[in-house]
Structure 1
Amino acid sequence: MKTEITGKTLKALGFAEGKILGLALEILKNNFQDIEANEVQKLLKKVKNYPENFLDDEILSVLATAIIEEANPRSDGIIELIANAKTYTVFGEGYIEDGAKNQMNIAMKLPVTEAGALMPDAHQGYGLPIGGVLATRNAIIPYGVGVDIGCRMALSIFDIPEKYYFGKDAMYKRELIAHTKFGAGQNYSGNERADHDILDSDDFNATPFLKNLHGKAWAQLGTSGGGNHFVEWGIIDFAERDEILNIDKGRYVALLTHSGSRGFGATVAGQYTKIAKEICKLPKEAINLAYLDMNSAEGQEYWIAMNLAGDYASACHEVIHKKLTKAIGAKVLVKVENHHNFAWKETLNGEELIVHRKGATPAGKGVMGIIPGSMTAPGFLVRGKGETSSINSASHGAGRLMSRTKAIQSITKSDMKAILKDHNVTLIGAGLDEAPMAYKDINQVMAAQTELVDVIAKFEPKMVRMADDGSRED
Structure 2
Amino acid sequence: MAKLKLKGKDLRVIGYPEGPVISIAMNVMERNYKHHTTEQAIDILKDVLTAPADYMEDAVLAPVAQQLLPKPAPEGVEISLNTTGISFNVFGSEFIEPGAMNQMYQAAKLPVSLAGALMPDAHAGYGLPIGGVLATENAVIPYGVGVDIGCRMCLSVFDIDPKELVQREPYFTRELNEATLFGGGRQFDNATEHEVIDRPEFDQLPLLKALQGRAAKQLGSSGSGNHFAEFGLVEIKEKDPVLGIEAGAYLGLLTHSGSRALGANIANHYTKVAKQKRRLPGEANNLAWLTMDEQEGIEYWMAMNLAGDYASACHHVIHAKIAKQLGRQPLKMVENHHNFAWREMYQGREVIVHRKGATPAGKDVLGIIPGSMTAPGFIVKGKGELASVNSASHGAGRKMSRTAALNTITRHAL
Superposition TM-score, scaled by structure 1 size: 0.70
**2:204: which partner in 1?**
206
Residue 195 of structure 1 and its aligned partner are, at CA, apart by 1.6
Q: Distance in 2 between matches of 1:145 and 1:244?
A: 28
Alignment of 1:70-469 (within 5 A): 78-190=78-190, 193-416=191-414
Q: Distance in 2 between matches of 1:370 and 1:318?
A: 16
Name the aligned partner's letter for residue 360 of structure 1.
Answer: A
Q: Is the 8 A contact 1:140 1:291 kept in 2?
A: yes
Shift of residue 99, structure 1, vs aligned partner: 1.1
Offset of residue 95 of structure 1 = 1.1
Q: Which amino acid aligns with 1:210?
A: L
Question: What is the rounded CA distance, in whole Å, between the counterparts of 1:352 and 1:342 in structure 2?
Answer: 16
In 2, Cα distance between the equivalents of 1:321 and 1:121?
27
> 8 Å contact 2:384–2:390 — kept in the other structure?
yes
Matched residues in 1 for 2:387 and 2:125: separation? 22
Shift of 1:216: 1.1
What is the CA distance between 1:117 and its match in structure 2?
0.3
TM-superposed CA distance for 1:405, in Å, is: 3.7
CA contact (8 A) 1:77 1:283 kept: no
Amino acid at match of 2:117: A
Q: What is the rounded CA distance, in whole Å, between the counterparts of 2:409 and 2:244 in structure 1?
A: 43
| CA 1:76–1:401: 2 relative to 1, 3 Å | farther
Measure, in 2, the Cα distance between the counterparts of 1:336 and 1:413: 32
Query: 2:96–2:120: 8 Å Cα contact kept in structure 1?
Result: yes
SS of the aligned residue for 2:392 comes to strand
CA distance in 1, matches of 2:173, 2:347: 49
Contact 1:118–1:133 (CA under 8 A) maintained in structure 2: yes
Contact 2:243–2:366 at 8 Å: present in 1 too? no
Distance 1:165 1:330, change over 3 A: farther
Kindly indicate whether the alpha-carbon contact (under 8 Å) linking 2:242 and 2:364 is maintained by their aligned counterparts in 1.
no
The alpha carbon displacement at 1:84 in A equals 0.6
Aligned-partner Cα distance in 1 for 2:75–2:375: 43
Mapped contact 1:231–1:255 kept (Cα < 8 A)? yes
Counterparts in 2 of 1:415 and 1:212: CA distance versus 1, 3 Å = same
Question: Does the 8 Å contact 1:76/1:283 carry over to 2?
Answer: no
User: For 1:14-39, what per-residue CA distance to the aligned partner results, in whole angstroms no more than 9, with x for missing partners?
Assistant: xxxxxxxxxxxxxxxxxxxxxxxxxx
**Letter of the aligned partner of 1:374 in structure 2?**
S
Residues 149 and 269, structure 1, Cα contact 8 Å, conserved in 2:
yes
User: How far is the alpha carbon of 1:77 from its aligned partner?
Assistant: 7.9
Do the aligned residues in 2 keep the contact of 1:184 with 1:226 (CA within 8 Å)?
yes
Higher Cα Rg: structure 1 or 2?
A: 2
Do 2:133 and 2:391's aligned partners in 1 also have CA atoms closer than 8 Å? yes
Return the letter of the residue paired with 1:368. Answer: L
**Would the aligned equivalents of 2:150 and 2:339 in 1 still touch at CA under 8 Å?**
yes
How much has 1:149 moved relative to structure 2?
0.3
Partner secondary structure for residue 208 of structure 2: helix
Residues 367 and 271 of structure 1: is their aligned pair in 2 closer, same or farther, counting only changes over 3 Å? same
Question: How many residues in Structure 1 have an aligned counterpart in Structure 2?
Answer: 341
Distance 1:208 1:77 in 2: 26
Query: What is the Cα-based RMSD across aligned positions, in Å?
Result: 1.4
Unaligned runs of 5+ in 2: 1-73
